[in-house]
Chains A and B, each alone.
Chain A
Amino acid sequence: MTESAPGAAASAHATGLDHDEISFWRTYVFSTDHKMIARQYLFLGLFMALVGGFLAYAMRWQLAYPDTAVPGFGFVGPETYNVLVTMHGTTMVFFVAMPILLGAFGNFLIPLMIGARDMAFPRLNMLSFWTLAVASLILLSSFLVPGGAASAGWTGYAPLSARSIYTGVTWGLNLWILAHAVEFASFLMGGVNFLTTAITMRATGMSFFRLPLVIWQQLTAAILFLLSVGPLIAAAVMLLMDRIAGTSFFVASGGGDPLLWQHLFWFFGHPEVYVVLLPAVGLAAEVLPVFSRKPLFGYRWIIYSTIVVGILSFIVWAHHMFLSGMDPRLAMPFSITTILISVPFAILVFAMIATLWGGSIRFSVPMLFALGFVAMFIVGGLTGIFNGSAPANIQVHATYFIVGHFHYTLLSGLFFGGFAGIYFWFPKMFGRMMNETLGQVHFWTTMICFNATFFPMHLVGLGGMMRRIANPLQYEFLQSLQPINVFITISAIGLALSQLVFLVNVGWSLVAGRTAEQNPWQATTLEWATPSPPPHGNFDALPVVYRGPYEYSCPEVSEDWLPQDRVLVARSG
């Protein structure tokens, strides 16, 4: 019974490719096709990026020209500034990075790359997206309620977040918690779907060690998310009880412990960094061999490193809390595990650089962004070592050094990894090539403005500027740093404007871009073995896989690439 029923469902799915006309609503809105859902995630993420980016702009303006009206926004006082900080972080991490890197790319790539017709649970997939859409609406609606949106920081530290009177925010913060809860539900459903699909739906011959790396990274991210988010859900329930039912889980005066929130938050928060980062690493790792025309260096080592990162990420969380008042004896073990995690990441970066060695590199736009990711990520990783060792961390804790470091790791993943992915798979997603010239302009302006924005943050941080002050001029020792703050703001506006080039490129390419052929980059993985964009059901006949994903410059064929599904008569495989 249990064996036959899912099998029957799957074969019905395989044969009933329902090519008959589907209504507009079922095609574009309530679609169960993983490719359409991926595009929905992508556009939702891009829309929320505009919101989060606008908040960042208002924040930066306030820091450069304190207490002047922000053009297009208005006057920002300290309370509003706290709202900007909180909502910028929340929006960008949970409603931009996760929808784009996991929602869009995970959904689009997993079935195509493993040679499946769709996800294991297509309707659950649709539900995941619409749950996320509801969560986004809840988050946006929190701007409109009396008392304003949440202002306790994106980490929502207790007791600030545990009692309304401390921030003056009542429903805004409750809705903030609710938006998180709904978002978590969405990505839990998504994660279950990713894992089940990859475990049960792989094409014949697609063993785990023939999976493209980005799939491994997506799956690791999904497992990390599934196993780390639980304690934060529990913490969110407790926080909501503190705010609504008057309990004292996180309030010391009532017998609770504010530090408890930090432990539960960072037990999730640190794996979450890798939930966002690993898929970005995977996107870059897919692009590099294609444009180097070389097999990826150290395929299995990258997989092992990814797994080690995943395991270690559960035992590093207290490095966010060296100055929180926790038992100082914990600082040493958490320093050690944190420094330890740089070993697998060093292997990842080394493998990506070694892939380039001796390759015939094509500097197409996806490749530029992938290279940009590697370069920027090294900066983020190196500053991470500063933060990981407790003595150095104490110096830079809660300064702009942290803000700079954080943006070099996560934003480099989203910007450079994510854009590499978008430029690379845009032909497959939409059937049209993106404009190369505009892409080059986008890359170089982004690269310059990104560094001009975030590198100086390390400097003001070392100068002592705290990460969450609304007006740096109120401290005498920070006044000499103000020119740097103005420079950062101008660069940040430049960074925002460079993204307009991208939006123009997307809009133009969707309408008038050159029609993409099936395999425009001459790549080997399965998604390139089907038309661009793939039809409903992805493949005419499901592919059979004969080899690993990175067979470039293989001497056995005349072309310099050997697709995973090509039969070679002379070779047994």
Chain B
Amino acid sequence: MDYKTIMCDVLVVGAGGAGCRAAIEASNHNLDVIMLSKELLGKAHTAMAEGGYNVSLGNVDPDDDPETHFKDTIVGGNYLNNQNLAEILVRDAPQRIFDLEDMGAVFDRTPEGKIAQRTFGKQSWRRTAYASDRTGSEIMVTLTEATRKSSVRVFDEVFATRLLVTDGKISGICAVDLKYGDYLVFRAKSVVMATGGAGRIFSVTSNAQLDVGDGYGMAYEAGCEMMDMEMIQFHPTGMVKPESAKGRLVTEAVRGEGGILLNNKGERFMNRYYPEVMELAGRDQVARSIMTEVREGRGSPDGGVYLSISHLPHSIIEFRLESMIEQFEDAGVDIREEPMQVSPTAHHFMGGIKIDENSGTNVPGLYASGECTGGVHGGNRLGGNALADTQVYGALSGEKAAEYAKETTHLGVNREEIKIEFERLEAMLNRKEGISPSDARSELTKLMWTKVQIFRKEDEMQYAVTELRRIEKEVVPKIKVDVPVKRFNPGWHQAMEFVNMVTTARMVAEAAVMRKGSRGAHFRVDADPNDKGYYNIVIRKGKDGKMELRKEDLVITKITPP
């Protein structure tokens, strides 16, 4: 199998908020940095984040400080967060938002000309910085501008398939150029994984099509420890119709700006569940409240509930929620006048690659940042903490990867391993008989959506685990691309992604079965009351190739769980 080898010092896999930030940081160290992007530069899922960036600047509520941000993050995370990591998040968030401004970001302002901040769920103060309801886009555009200023070499539409590890240390990756179908090996002294989440393993999701868990799959295979994989955030408000828009995000900013949730009787039902905080309860809490209304027959005709903002003046809606107006206009709804129909949608992975305070993994030379990591957000992520995470840990991982690269040389790579990897990818094209990736995918995403969802049950999850083990054994090796063309072939792209989806889904389901009580986003209808749940579940690939799960003590620095 022919391939080309490309050399660099630091390799960043992924070009969203964390990846771009890591690459820019590493390039500031006068190193040769390559950033791989599965999509075109600037199109990453970060651009779809709407609401904002949490930072305790105290521009609106002067009493806010990192300490309070920390406390809110830990309480919101149901105490499962790695408190070291959460401390770094709140400590560095202010400097990182200033970095963005230095690069050219345009956030909305207070009357004094400082960065404006608004209310988001489960936060003690108005803390969420924003640019209307296109904050992620603002950040992505800024990082794109900054990347174009930097010396980072961007390889866009290049898909990483396998991490290469030599003598236990990172040495490079195998990849495919999606444009032309060429096989590429990138050899680097250090690698940063910034591959985002995997909402797409569920049939209803707010995530872009690229979020299939590539990073989880690759890291697991490379021997990385993974944690909290059972903790999936279902965002309470996704679009319900039209069918093709199902799951699209309806930003928390709608509720932050005063939007209210109503059932089909016109009742403001959050009053029944969380009367003190109402619509601004935790995302997991609001999601379950909505689903309870729907299950008990008080939902809207299309299977959701109503979210109404029409009591606010048009001018406020137009200034602060402009994307929402546009998004619902396409669905024939004028949110200035009518309520939206919403229901929960798979949104964010709190879990992921386990990292330390240097953003490093258990594989030397391999760093990770952003949604593909676990530990920062615990059992439930606060709205607005994800964008902050991308910047804080993006910069940290870039810096540490650069420092590591400066002290090391390129390791050799195992060419036999590379050959086997590319033969695996080639085989999908050459198979005479097999299973189409699109069928396999829809089976998987439906399974996950119905069996490992918001309300979880032992037998359903067991069923999912059994099915996923079967899929891994029987379907994955038989994936067959319909048209055997390597040049920009979405059928092949889907086929290559599928194995990562299966590995990710398995980690989610296996960990969910292991956690017998309810905690954070993991909610069991058959919860064991004796399982308080104050532990993390860590997963790694065992020496025999089997998935190994174990419980680990929480990392606590300041706040002890009740």
Do A and B truly interact?
A: no
Could you list which residues of chain B lie within 8 angstroms of chain A, going by C-beta atoms?
none
The chain A residues found within 8 Å of chain B, CB to CB, are none
